[in-house]
Amino acid sequence: MDAASIGWLALPLAILGGAIRVSTPFIFVSIGELITEKSGRINLGLEGTLMLGAMAGYAISYLSGSPWLGVLSAGLAGMAFGLLHGLLCSVKRVNDTAIGISLIVLGTGLAFFLGKPLIEPKAPPLPSIALGFWSSVPQVRAALDVNALFFVGIALAFAVYVFLNRTGWGLMLRTVGDSEDAARALGFPVLRVRIVATMAGGFLAGIGGSFLSLSYPGSWSEGLSSGQGIMAVALVIFARWRSINALGASLLFGGAGALGPALQGVGVTGYYYLFNAAPYILTLAIMVASTSRAAPFADAPGELKLHR
């Protein structure tokens, strides 16, 4: 069977498969950023963390032969960067936007530097689950060949929801993010909570990076990321600081990002680059439509300094 025999169905199938693949790193970075922002800090540097995670994951998977060990190391590398961000931003009067940008520079620099010897070798990729086993149509099988990390990501979104809204630690995190004074009055360790939240964010962003190098696109190169780490900040605003929304937003972004390659797959190539920009255009459009001048960030944690 070929593409022609299932007709126009090939396009939505390609978009579905693409959405699942493209959205996975978005799920991890956006939920990571969400946890950090809930503590009242913004980490603009997740792009660097993502690249570092992608490199570390690929390197460890190649050296050890175990992709899951790679995922874990990617998370740990990201966590180390989160710790760095958390400590640096604990210095009073430090500009957290600028620290974020400097960590993008340092993270990509380290990833490119240490990853130079990794461009040639082939690391064992993450396995995927063939949910399309029931079908004999290759497009259906391709679309439903889903990486296990995708399901981890979905579970993560719900777990974070429960953590934030149903646990004492979640309450502490939200209090620290909403009002530093209230948190201090309650005796919460504000700085420690923020540092741990940034580390957790870095851990997840690192895992998101390892998906890029170990599953899709599935190799290490310097052009691996197309700004997923930077987009995380926009995604969290779009998701209004809710983890389930962040999951939905990531899927939507994934779908928008899959549009270009899917159309190219069925022979529409004219607007390839513009369709690749679809996630960015979509985010901007939604931000324009959903914010208002009077209350730009009504749902934002109170300590978050998005407007200076």
Helix (H), strand (E) counts: the chain: 13, 2
Q: Is 120 in the site for other proteins (CB under 8 A)?
A: no
Q: How far is CA 146 from CA 24, 193, 196, in A?
A: 10, 35, 31
Judged by CB under 8 A, the number of residues near other proteins is 51
Q: Which is nearer to other proteins, 67 or 208 (CB)?
A: 208
Nearest in space to 103 (alpha carbons), one of 156, 41, 28: 41
The single-letter DSSP state of residue 221 is -
Q: Which stretch binds other proteins (CB under 8 A): 14-22, 23-31, 155-163, 288-296?
A: 288-296
Separation between Cα atoms, residue 275 and residue 289, nearest integer Å: 20
Q: Which stretch binds other proteins (CB under 8 A): 14-22, 25-33, 161-169, 273-281?
A: 273-281
Q: Which is nearer to other proteins, 93 or 166 (CB)?
A: 93
Q: Are 194 and 90 in contact (CB under 8 A)?
A: yes
Q: How many CB atoms lie within 10 A of CB 278?
A: 17
**Is residue 302 exposed (0-12), middle (13-18) or buried (19+ Cβ within 10 Å)?**
middle
Query: Closest distance between other proteins and the C-beta of residue 92, in Å?
Result: 5
Q: Is 166 in the site for other proteins (CB under 8 A)?
A: no
Q: Is 9 in the site for other proteins (CB under 8 A)?
A: no
Which of 29, 72, 99, 149 is close enough to bind other proteins by CB under 8 A? 99
Residues between 234 and 263 that touch other proteins (CB under 8 A): 234, 237
Q: Where are the beta strands (DSSP E) in the chain?
A: 128-130, 145-147
Q: Which is nearer to other proteins, 200 or 234 (CB)?
A: 234
Give the interface with other proteins as residue ranges (CB under 8 A): 44, 88, 91-95, 97-99, 101-113, 116, 227, 230, 233-234, 237, 270-274, 276-277, 280-281, 283-284, 287-288, 291-296, 306-308
